[in-house]
Chains A and B, each alone.
Chain A
Amino acid sequence: MDETTALEVHDLNAWYGHTQALRNMSLSMMERRITAVIGPSGCGKSTFIRCLNRINDLMPGFRVAGRVLFKGQDLYAPGVDPIEIRLRIGMVFQKPNPFPKPIYDNVAYGPRLCGIKERARLDALVEESLKKAALWDEVKDKLHHSALALSGGQQQRLCIARALAVEPEVLLLDEPCSALDPIATGRIEELLLDLKKNYTMVIVTHNMQQAARVSDTTAFFMLGQLVEFGPTSQIFTNPRDKVTEDYITGRFG
């Protein structure tokens, strides 16, 4: 297995106003692997993942210290364009959030913003992205219907297709299945395992079984700190840390 580091976090600290959300976090996420981030509510999982594509910059009062290296480049270095980062590191959110537009326009939205206008190229991108998101067969005959008419699971796959349309290298997923039923969840999980061939993914999840099913590496956070980070199989069979053990066996607190 070729293990190349995609994202490297060094001594990351983050604050919302005076509240510190992340403390001295250091960990590396490997290329074409799925890293799961688990931990109780308020442990900093979402803050962490949102630091990886600088989407937190948009939060008033948010401050970050430390380094996040993407293929060696510091995302927080002066002169780095956060918009460009977000094209290369896409994000999918907890609640499916398609635009109130046709399916086609949802997927073509990003490429159009990037200046792609030729119809044929857009068509190809839309088809390819929907195929990658395992949604094409279900929507190919109704590309011009509203995205809002799709089921929750389809909407979430549409959001994944929309994220893929700008050809990112990394996908950040913030509890992508928490609003979905088990069947839709199963489809998304299959999709993630398939996308792993070409993408690096970081998934935040409250569902520990989901972390166990899809991820290669698991990070356990608590109170804004990294408690344990290791191969998922090890974390779930033999965690090194007592706190991790208590959390994953449900004896927490």
Chain B
Amino acid sequence: MAKVVLVLGDDVSTDAIYPGRFMATVLPGETPQYCFADMTEFNTRLKAKKVPPESVIVAANNFGCGSSREQAASTLKGYEFIIVAKGFARIFLQNSANLGLRTIICPTIEAAEGDEIEIAAAEVVNMTSGARFAVVPLPKARQDIIDAGGLIAYARKKVLEEAGKKRS
């Protein structure tokens, strides 16, 4: 069971998740400090470690739209958030799979801050309201990367395979 700590609407841009003015900071270990930096109160709670890992952010359509900046995924991954949204923008969804940030596509999700939810492969159950919402599985191309533990591990395996082929 996980707790919903933030509920957002449509079109949450990567500028909202990780404002452009912090883009000089790139390394995954350093990006979490600027997570939702313009939502000052939420950012302060995050930095004070008042939001436990595997907390849930619920959003509507087109979450992560805009820039390709990978900081938007790594900053959320830094707090081990689970993002449950009605829909995600393409590059953000790919970046999330690549970095191992959990994203759940749930087109009808309804939840309020403070709700407890249960996430299974096929559905999300809002334990507070009792409502159940179907999950759209991630495209296989992305699931393969997640199953490998992220794109670094996935690509490393391919690189080693190809080096092996060249040698033999």
Same assembly: no
